[in-house]
Each structure stands twice: as C-alpha cells, then as structure tokens.
C-alpha cells in the first residue's frame, strides 16, 4: 500500500523581517492567517525570480497546480449543491467562467496580489507584475499554499468567500464574456464556417507591444481589437463582431 510522505520537500525562499511585514499586510487584505509564512512567500515566487537564484528555492508552479485542483473541487461541490436543476454541461460551463483567468485576475487585483509577487528583473521590466496570467497563477498558488498550511476546511471557506460573488455574476449574466467562443459558435451554426483572425499591425517596443487584430467571416471584417497580447486583441475583435451581428439580428426582427 502506498503511503503519503510525512514531510513536504519544498525549498521555500527565506522570509526577512521586512518581507514578513509585507506578507502580514496581504493576510490582512485577504482575511486569512498563515501558520507558516514561508508557504505564502513561495506562493508569490514567480519562475523568473527563481531563475535568478536557481539554487536557493523553488517557484510557485507546484503550488499553482495544487491550488487549481482545490479551487476546482470547492467550486464544483458548491455548484452541484446549489444548482440542482442544471445539467452537467450547464455546471461545467458556469464553472469554466467562475475559475477562469479573468475571474482570478479580478480577485488577485482586489487583494493587491501584484504588490507582493516576487519576479525577475526582466519580467518586472516587461510589466509582468500586472500580467493577467501571472496574477491568476499567483492566486491559485496562494490557494494551494493555504490548503497546505491550514487544511481543506479553512481553504474552502476562503475560496467560497472569494468565489460566491463571481458565481453570482455568472448566474446574473454580469461576467466577462468569452467572445471568441460565442462568436465561433454563432458563425459555425449560422454559416457553417469559422471566423478567421488577422494581425493588422503591432506597435510599441518589444517589452511593451500592442497588437491590433481583425476578425473576418462571410466576407466582412470587424475590429480591429487591440491588446497587449494577441489573445486579448482577438477577444476584443470577437466582442466587436459578436455585438455587431447581434444588433443587426435584432433590427431584422419586425415589431
């Protein structure tokens, strides 16, 4: 029979007195208390920071992996018990919005996670502290660290306090939409084809690019959308297209 290891093999970064005060400030924002400050400190440690000190400590990626799973089971359990009339497909769709990168970024910003992340100089220079993926990953890592530190019951309470407002947004249709998926479903159903995205231009220096992208289907172009990466620019272009075709569709309906 397999047995769980008794000791966690995590190389956590040292916590100086100054850093401990910073972490306590985050705990105050988040309304939680860690028994081991080094767990929380590791949750904020981005890969780029570790790469500059490879022999000293780990990064937060394993905590992110764990936090993603804990977050998933807590939200799934809550939705399963709350929405008893929904199908599996409905629950999966709602969950995908609730635990999305967009939702986690909103929560991370509310908790001021960007002030506490440890990142490398190059990543700092390129605006990494405010990147959506880095903020969302750090938030999942914090959840994973809190689970290790304080157990499932405490982490569940913490997650639900953060996530129930996001669940309400989805149920009331106030959440940020995945316009690329919505547009693809619409175009595929109506025209039996797929929207195509084209890069129009990119501006700015390498460390601070802005991308401009159009989306095209049925001989018409929409946009351009713009963003700091191609994914965000495509989402904006898809949003422009989706809102436009829906306005046109409403005009076609007679009074």
Task: Name the token pair of 237.
Answer: 């272009």
Q: What is the DSSP letter of 204?
A: S
Residue 38 bears catalytic tag? no
Q: What is the DSSP letter of 45?
A: B
Catalytic, out of 58, 61, 68, 178? 68
Catalytic, out of 137, 140, 149, 166? 140
Q: Quickly tell me which residue has 């938030």 as its tokens.
A: 139
Q: What sign for the dihedral angle of Cα 38, 41, 47, 51? A: negative
What is the rounded distance in angstroms from the CA atom of residue 79 to the CA atom of residue 83? 6
Residue 68 bears catalytic tag? yes
120: nearest Cα among 188, 52, 70, 62:
52
Task: Name the token pair of 37.
Answer: 């400050």
Catalytic residues: 68, 140
């Amino acid at each position: 029979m397999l047995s769980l290891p008794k000791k966690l093999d995590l190389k956590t970064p040292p916590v100086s007195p100054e850093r401990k005060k910073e972490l306590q400030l985050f705990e105050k924002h988040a309304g939680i208390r860690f028994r081991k400050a080094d767990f929380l400190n590791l949750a904020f440690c981005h890969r780029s920071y570790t790469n500059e000190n490879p022999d000293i400590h780990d990064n937060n990626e394993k905590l992110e992996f764990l936090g993603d799973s804990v977050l998933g089971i807590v939200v799934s359990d809550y939705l399963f018990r709350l929405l008893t009339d929904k199908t599996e497909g409905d629950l999966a769709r709602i969950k995908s919005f609730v635990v999305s990168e967009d939702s986690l970024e909103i929560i991370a910003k509310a908790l001021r996670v960007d002030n506490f992340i440890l990142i490398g100089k190059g990543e700092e220079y390129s605006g990494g502290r405010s990147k959506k993926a880095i903020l969302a990953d750090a938030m999942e890592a914090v959840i994973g660290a809190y689970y290790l530190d304080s157990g499932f019951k405490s982490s569940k309470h913490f997650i639900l306090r953060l996530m129930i407002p996001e669940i309400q947004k989805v149920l009331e249709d106030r959440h940020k939409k995945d316009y690329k998926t919505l547009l693809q479903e619409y175009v595929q159903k109506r025209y039996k084809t797929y929207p195509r995205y084209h890069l129009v231009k990119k501006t700015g220096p390498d460390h601070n690019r802005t991308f401009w992208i159009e989306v095209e289907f049925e001989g018409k172009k929409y946009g351009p959308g713009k963003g700091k990466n191609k994914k965000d620019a495509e989402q904006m272009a898809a949003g422009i297209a989706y809102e436009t075709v829906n306005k046109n569709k409403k005009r076609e309906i007679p009074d």
